[in-house]
Structure 1
């Protein structure tokens, strides 16, 4: 019995941040809109197609973008709204496909393999895309093929707001005419390096002996050759929702002091946020756990805008704790858990305030890695220590 053919769909929300802003501010439709940091020191997160006509693109210094398109409308961005709409799309996809991977805040892979026994896969994928647009009001592009990298490339070709299927057996027809720069992961430097050795199209790579590519490019040469043959992974990392990070502590004596409990909550949140950053993850959900002296255990969770910043996580953890802790009741254990984890990618770095904070936290993380986490602690913990000493 032959193995089922892989069917991988790739969904990408078009100019996601701008699209959300246009939902919130429909009067900006048709105008050059840029979302990102400040005009002087920030970078472009994303921009409308009207702004792209002037040469503006993601990750460009904002000062350069404003020179190219001085009439552009600059928006700082509303990260909470982006998280909200990302979760809407995530929930829809989770309810419609058997297996999916959330690659970033606006990008998803779906494994539809085996569903061809019950549905026309192409039709089902297009209907899912249309359903997402209807429910959220957001434009979304989609590619469908036998491998993740081909589907992503198909999505890029389908933009803006389109669908492209690469049927089984037609991978080379799709890939070979393309310039080498179209392969995922080939940046400007890699492109120049490949062209310097005579590789201008994907077909050029395909027709070069793999041994030659390995000699010139190392392991990357083999990877490029395999992609040029239409061979790629169809395996998804579908554990993003299930994965979580947590820490908890059991007290030697039952505690009723709210200041003490807050301090322990801060310590646990800091510790878990440190783990989060070490793993290059963001969290979209916080759970606070309380076990009372009589062993009754309760927990409360809330979704948040994706983040890995101590101050935001601590503020939300305290807020959750204060909402459901029964004041005066003795506590035996307290815990914190982060779930709905997602790769950091560029999601936070493109916002000035979050980028600055993240850089500071990572600097502290480096100190902790070198000298131990006991060396660095929050003022709240220090003040409690002094209070006990006095």
Structure 2
């Protein structure tokens, strides 16, 4: 069986690079992007700050103490989404099928291209095209599978490229830290350190049964990745990829309290599904079906997000714009589309550590006890204000209540 050629592309320090593109005077200077207050969080940091111990996800207050000379910028998710779309379009025009793994990360299957053009040459020219047309630095790794290519990209950075020839996967991986293997977090890393495992080479020398005995089924996956073995497929990117929810009422209604509470509950559920699947949405839609069965939808493009408190007000706004016939409503629906892989990071510009902790805690409760174990208070009931329902029921946006069993 012929080996594959899998390309992994990653925009270097994406948020930082966009800011430097817009503000050239920030080049080569320490730069932090994120929330500005003491309770803000670092969403991205330049390489110049990392030697001081700064990393994304840490408190902005701590980051400022570690690197007081850094320039701090509150991120703009709309701007980053725009540049992400630009790079996506460049790749889409060059590659027949690709996977958009996150807002700044892509995979492409170049298998068979060597017959006509040469995969490494093609990848190199694609990288230069992205740099030229977008103005952003980007790195790539090229190998026979996704895992090795992703690790190779990490080794190529910043703003460089690396080819791992077929048959060289194990030797390339051997001297690297086990932390370089995707899916090894701090907890697993500490477990491996306890076994004296620091380099991938040590895992390569261990029997798979030993890894399984220590780490369960994940141990076998890690062992395979340490050997450069990976058969995960490219998941083609489609703009229309979506998740949705609809509710048909038992009786047609114009009860605004009920309608907004229903929309809020659906949005909250879908946002939780996004976070659970490490996804972000960039397009939201609201649907109304009236009692006469006429159906209408309204759609809006938004910066990538998975945050309830950002999505719910936008959905409420779309519904307010859409509901203009003043007829009884039979059905309402919410859809999130334009999905990409990605963590909550892009919302760190406006959020505090408390907000992030709250989301994390709520999602942990739901993961353990079920999606409906904790719910937003405004989905239980509402207060009608001047003929219109306040979607947050007059409460702070993040007020939740435990559902009684």
Shorter-chain TM-score: what band?
A: 0.7 to 0.9
Q: 1:262 & 1:88 partners in 2: Cα distance?
A: 41
Corresponding residue for 2:259?
264
Q: 2:170 & 2:375 partners in 1: Cα distance?
A: 56
Q: 2:382 & 2:344 partners in 1: Cα distance?
A: 34
Cα offset, 1:84, TM superposition: 2.1
SS of 1:277 mapped into structure 2 = helix
Q: 1:309 & 1:50 partners in 2: Cα distance?
A: 30
Corresponding residue for 2:298?
300
Cα offset, 1:180, TM superposition: 3.1
SS of 2:175 mapped into structure 1 = coil
Cα offset, 1:165, TM superposition: 1.2
Corresponding residue for 2:383?
383
Corresponding residue for 1:136?
134
SS of 2:81 mapped into structure 1 = helix
Rate the CA distance shift 1:356–1:243 in 2: closer, same or farther, 3 A: farther
Matched, 1:285 2:283: yes
Rate the CA distance shift 1:28–1:377 in 2: closer, same or farther, 3 A: same
Rate the CA distance shift 1:209–1:298 in 2: closer, same or farther, 3 A: same
Corresponding residue for 2:102?
104
After superposing the two structures, state which structure 1 stretch, 236-245 or 65-74, moved more: 236-245
Rate the CA distance shift 1:346–1:165 in 2: closer, same or farther, 3 A: farther
| TM-score normalised by structure 2 residue count | 0.79
Matched, 1:85 2:83: yes
Q: 1:143 & 1:35 partners in 2: Cα distance?
A: 26
1:345 pairs with 311, 326, 343, which one?
Answer: 343
Alignment of 1:359-374 (within 5 A): 359-360=357-358, 366=365
Deviation digits for residues 90-113 of structure 1, max 9, x if unmatched?
A: 333333323333222222222233
CA-based RMSD:
3.6
Q: 1:380 & 1:90 partners in 2: Cα distance?
A: 41
Cα offset, 1:348, TM superposition: 4.4
1:309 pairs with 307, 323, 329, which one?
Answer: 307
After superposing the two structures, state which structure 1 stretch, 77-86 or 365-374, moved more: 365-374
Deviation digits for residues 228-284 of structure 1, max 9, x if unmatched?
A: 3221134134467443222334567777x6xx5696256224313323314524321
Rate the CA distance shift 1:179–1:336 in 2: closer, same or farther, 3 A: closer
Q: 1:286 & 1:74 partners in 2: Cα distance?
A: 31
Q: Note the residue ranges of structure 2 that are not aligned, 5 or more in a row.
A: 389-405
Matched, 1:6 2:4: yes
After superposing the two structures, state which structure 1 stretch, 7-16 or 200-209, moved more: 200-209
Cα offset, 1:143, TM superposition: 0.7
Q: 1:235 & 1:59 partners in 2: Cα distance?
A: 30
Q: 2:190 & 2:249 partners in 1: Cα distance?
A: 60
Q: 1:185 & 1:357 partners in 2: Cα distance?
A: 25
Q: 1:337 & 1:120 partners in 2: Cα distance?
A: 41
Corresponding residue for 1:73?
71
Conserved? CA contact 1:247–1:268, under 8 Å: no
Q: 2:191 & 2:381 partners in 1: Cα distance?
A: 53
Alignment of 1:309-328 (within 5 A): 309-323=307-321, 326-327=324-325
2:245 pairs with 244, 247, 267, which one?
Answer: 247
| TM-score normalised by structure 1 residue count | 0.82
Cα offset, 1:74, TM superposition: 1.3
After superposing the two structures, state which structure 1 stretch, 184-193 or 358-367, moved more: 358-367
Q: 2:75 & 2:25 partners in 1: Cα distance?
A: 16
Corresponding residue for 1:231?
229
Q: Note the residue ranges of structure 1 that are not aligned, 5 or more in a row.
A: none
